[in-house]
């Protein structure tokens, strides 16, 4: 039987040596490389294509959330086990949400590390036992505390960009603001979320995507269509790579159906992560998502949660797109020009009954 190939990433040579010594006698594994920084990690992943990555996320030149999301997209079958000294529950939740398969604390027995590696290689998830109760308690606290957290549209935009791993300069460029203004906004955002750093804020966003939702009755004011008193609240996901169009569509959805929570994503990865967290009733997906394909996005969402109703949209409707979209599981394929408040109201009212 072929040995599972392991790549070890930690910026401390002494720690790497200790890990190698602890696991080198494990059957059916082979340590194929060691790295100590972000750029070396990406180069070794491309060259070695290991089965499992043992990773300390505090290495130089390494942005954890952004890098792990990229690694997960490039190497979807590879297992990722974090080996870290940090036991902050927000930090751990964010990394788990970004796509790692396990989180092991460095101060735990070496026997637990060997067990953790075996578990993740077998397709299971591993969390060190001291973290389990802490994570369960933090989820309870988070549910209660999130009820009192209300973010502005600007703060939601900042949090989305932090979750993508963008630095202050990139965020400033994206939002057409100065770096100093971004720093001021982030200071207030950290205070409101009760976090201390951009990594904690990004992790918080990954673990609590419901904070990024917008209530339909606050998307516009006043809504021109009065809500049906018997209507149930539903969750709607908008997936479009154009921020301007998402804003336009968000306003129309809010006008059409005020009793709604609206979530946004700009690509397939963001969309599927949100679906797994919030299980929306309906998703409006653009056929062209930058370099990605809204039909593939539809297929992934339906694979994860077949109950989500998908409406594909396009500014350039095409018969072949329509055929492939319906085959992928979409309920309908609409021309963006036909998406108005009345149409949206009819679609959303049908879902609520």
Per the prediction, the chain carries an average pLDDT of 84
Convert the pLDDT of each residue in 317-329 to its tens digit. Answer: 778 888 999 999 9
CB 86 within 8 A of CB 73: no
Query: If you ran DSSP here, which 8-state letter would residue 212 be given?
Result: G
Tell me how far apart the alpha carbons of residues 85 and 118 are, in angstroms, rounded to a whole number: 20
Other CB atoms within 10 Å distance of the CB of residue 151: 17
Specify the higher pLDDT residue, 316 or 21: 21
Give the number of other Cβ atoms within 10 Å of residue 48's Cβ: 15
Is CATH 1.10.10.10 what the domain over 149-209 is classified as, yes or no? yes
Question: Per-domain residue ranges for the chain?
Answer: 4-137, 149-209, 213-352
Residue 41 pLDDT > 60: yes
Name the band, by pLDDT with cuts 50, 70 and 90, for residue 221: very low
Q: Where are the beta strands (DSSP E) in the chain?
A: 4-9, 29-35, 52-55, 79-84, 102-105, 126-127, 214-215, 234-239, 260-265, 282-286, 288-289, 292-293, 309-314, 332-335
Q: Would you say the pTM of this structure is higher than 0.95? A: no
Alpha-carbon span 241 to 266, nearest angstrom: 4
DSSP code for 273: H
As a whole number, mean pLDDT of residues 50-62 equals 92
Distance CA 194, CA 173 (A): 26
End-to-end CA distance of the chain: 55
**Three-state secondary structure call for residue 283:** strand
Dihedrals phi, psi of 142, to nearest 5 degrees: -65, -40
Q: If pLDDT is split at 50, 70 and 90, which confidence band does 140 have?
A: very low
Q: According to the model, what pLDDT value does residue 218 have? A: 56
CA-wise closest residue to 99 among 73, 124, 118, 120: 73
Q: Which helix (H) or strand (E) holds 260?
A: strand 260-265
- The pLDDT assigned to 141 comes to 45
DSSP one-letter code for 30: E
φ, ψ dihedrals at 213, nearest 5°:
-75, 155
CATH topology of domain 4-137: Rossmann fold (3.40.50)
What span, in angstroms and rounded, lies between the C-alpha atoms of 149 and 33? 45
Token look-up 């202050």 returns 168
Residues 32, 23: contact at Cβ < 8 Å? no
Q: Which value, to the nearest 10 degrees, does the dihedral of the CA atoms of residues 33, 35, 41, 46 take? A: -20
What fold is seen in the domain 213-352?
A: Rossmann fold (3.40.50)
Q: How much is the average pLDDT of 200-209?
A: 76
Max Cα distance, the chain (Å): 69
Report residue 33: phi and psi, to 5°. Answer: -175, 160
CB 311 within 8 A of CB 331: yes
Asked whether the domain spanning 213-352 has the same topology as the one spanning 4-137, the reply is: yes
142 falls in which pLDDT band (50, 70, 90)?
very low
Of residues 136 and 158, more confidence is placed in 158
Give yes or no for residue 144 having a pLDDT over 50. Answer: no
């Amino acid at each position: 039987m072929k040995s599972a190939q392991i790549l070890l990433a930690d910026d401390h040579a002494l720690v790497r040596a200790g890990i190698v010594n602890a696991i080198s006698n494990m059957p059916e594994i082979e340590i194929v490389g060691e790295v100590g920084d972000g750029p070396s990690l990406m180069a070794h992943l491309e060259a070695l294509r290991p089965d499992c990555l043992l990773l300390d996320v505090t290495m130089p030149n390494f942005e954890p959330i952004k890098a792990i999301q990229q690694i997960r997209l490039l190497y979807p079958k590879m297992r990722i086990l974090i080996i870290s000294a940090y036991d902050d529950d927000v930090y751990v939740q964010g990394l788990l949400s970004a796509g790692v398969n396990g989180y092991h604390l460095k101060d735990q027995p070496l026997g637990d590390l060997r067990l953790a590696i075996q578990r993740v290689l077998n397709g299971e998830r591993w969390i060190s036992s001291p973290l389990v109760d802490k994570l369960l308690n933090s989820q309870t606290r988070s549910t209660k505390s999130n009820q009192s957290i209300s973010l502005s549209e600007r703060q939601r935009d900042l949090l989305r960009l932090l979750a993508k791993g963008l630095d202050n300069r990139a965020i400033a460029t994206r939002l057409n603001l100065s770096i100093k203004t971004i720093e001021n906004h982030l200071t207030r955002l950290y205070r409101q979320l009760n976090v201390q750093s951009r990594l904690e804020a990004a992790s918080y966003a990954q673990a609590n995507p419901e904070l990024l939702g917008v209530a339909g009755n606050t998307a516009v004011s006043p809504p021109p269509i009065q809500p049906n008193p018997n209507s149930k609240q539903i969750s709607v996901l908008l997936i479009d790579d154009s921020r301007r169009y998402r804003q336009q569509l968000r306003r129309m959805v809010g006008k059409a159906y005020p009793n709604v929570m609206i979530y946004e994503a700009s690509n397939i990865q963001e969309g599927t992560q949100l679906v797994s967290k919030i299980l929306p009733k309906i998703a409006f997906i653009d056929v062209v998502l930058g370099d990605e394909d809204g039909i593939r996005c539809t297929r992934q969402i339906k694979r994860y949660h077949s109950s989500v109703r998908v409406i594909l949209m396009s500014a350039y409707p095409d018969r072949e797109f329509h055929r492939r979209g319906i085959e992928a599981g979409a309920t309908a394929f609409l021309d963006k020009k036909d998406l108005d408040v009345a149409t949206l109201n009819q679609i959303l009212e049908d879902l609520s009954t």
